[in-house]
Each structure stands twice: as structure tokens, then as C-alpha cells.
Amino acid sequence: MQLTGRVWKYGDNVDTDVIIPARYLNVSTPEELARHCMEGIDPDFASAVQRGDIIVAGENFGCGSSREHAPLAIKESGIACVVAKSFARIFYRNAINIGLPILACAQAVEETEKGDQLTVDLRAGTITNLRTGRTYQTPPFPAFVMGIIQAGGLIPYTRERMANDQ
């Protein structure tokens, strides 16, 4: 589970209203949502983002609404991983549940600039900045959460559990 991508950098408290403004919530297909991803904070993002890119942001990423449209839009836009100093809790759950990789690491965020290339190893929980050569270690996910990640999200995880129960 290793990936390398180019960085889009944002600040603290990136809220779900700027990730996907509510005026677009009259649809729920990932493709349509991705067209407006980050529109409230960075109108160029949706047209310039490339598959495999990485979002790096400050504290409390994804604060605000429970709208799963936010991580869905980010995932569908091609973003491979979000690295932030911290995540709002509903966004954290939603990202895990839909299979959008996220990692919390304040130091990596501090020392990363827009356009840097990062290599992220999700299993090892490491982030390497290819410009500076520095590697950062993030705390591992709890085993239960890792189970959801490895199953590919909460729906496949629950389906497996329900099949085992029967």
C-alpha cells in the first residue's frame, strides 16, 4: 500500500462546505461531486488535480457537516491520500468507511510545501518527503480500524462479518 504523489497544501480548519459546497449536494454521484471538489477554497483544484495527488493540510481537516459527499468528492477527484495535522471526527470516520486513505502527522505537514512529492506507505504508516528526504512515522491505526481499511471500507467489512455470522 505504497503511493507517491504531488502535494496540494491547505491550512487549518478546511471545512466540508469548502470541500464540497452545499449547492452541489442535490446530487450524490461521485463523478459529479468531484467536478466541484475544493471549489470553495481553490477553484483551480478540480481541473488541475491529477490521479495520485496528495492533499496536505493543517488542524481539524474536514470540520463541519457530516456530508460523506466531501471524502467521496476527494477520492473520486483522484486524490490518493490526505495528510493533515488532525482530522474532524466525522470526516475521519467517513474517510475510513469509504476507503479514502488518511494519515495524521503534524510534523510532516509543517515541513511540506505545495508541489512537493510525498511517498506514503499506508501499512507502515510512514510519509517520506522526496524533496527534503525526511521520513515521518505516524501512529498505527487501531486493529479494528485497520480491519475496515483492509476490507476496503465499512460496507465490505460489514458484509464479510455478516457472512461469517450466518
Partner 1 sequence: MGHTLTEKIIAAHLVQGEENVASSAEVWPGDLVEVAVDVVLANDITAPIAIREFETLGVERVFDRDRVVMVADHFAPNKDIKSAEQCLAMRQFARAQGLRHHFDVGRMGIEHVLLPEQGLVAPGDIVVGADSHTCTYGALGAFATGMGSTDIAVAMATGCVWLCVPETIRVVYHGRLRPWVGGKDLILYTIGHIGVSGALYKAIEFAGPVIDDLSMAGRFTMANMAIEAGGKAGLFAVDDRTLAYVDGRVSRPYHVYQADTDATYAQLIEIDVSQIEPQVALPHLPENVCPASQAGEVQIDQVVIGSCTNGRLEDLRVAAELLRGRRVHPDVRCIVIPGSQQVYLEALREGLIEAFIEAGAVVSTPTCGPCLGGHMGVLAAGERAVSTTNRNFRGRMGHPESEVYLAGPAVAAASAVAGHIASPEEVQQCN
**Nearby residues of 31 by Cβ (< 8 Å), 6 or more positions away:** 76
d(CA 166, CA 161): 9
CB 131 → partner 1: shortest distance, Å? 29
Window 76-115: contact mask with partner 1 (x via CB under 8 A): ----------x-xxx--xx--xx-----------------
DSSP state letter for 87: B
Q: Could you give the CA distance from residue 161 to residue 2 in angstroms, rounded to a whole number?
A: 27
CB of 132 to partner 1, least distance (A): 27
Based on the shown chain and the rule CB under 8 A, indicate whether residue 139 belongs to the binding site for partner 1: no
Binding mask 28-67 for partner 1 (x = CB under 8 A): x-----------xx-----------------xx--xxxxx
d(Cα 31, Cα 25) in Å, to the nearest integer? 13
Separation of first and last alpha carbons in the chain: 31
Q: How does strand 54-57 pair with strand 81-84? A: parallel
Question: Which residues of the chain form contacts with partner 1 (CB under 8 A)?
Answer: 13, 15, 17-18, 21-23, 25-28, 40-41, 59-60, 63-69, 71-72, 86, 88-90, 93-94, 97-98, 142-145, 147, 153-155, 158-159, 162
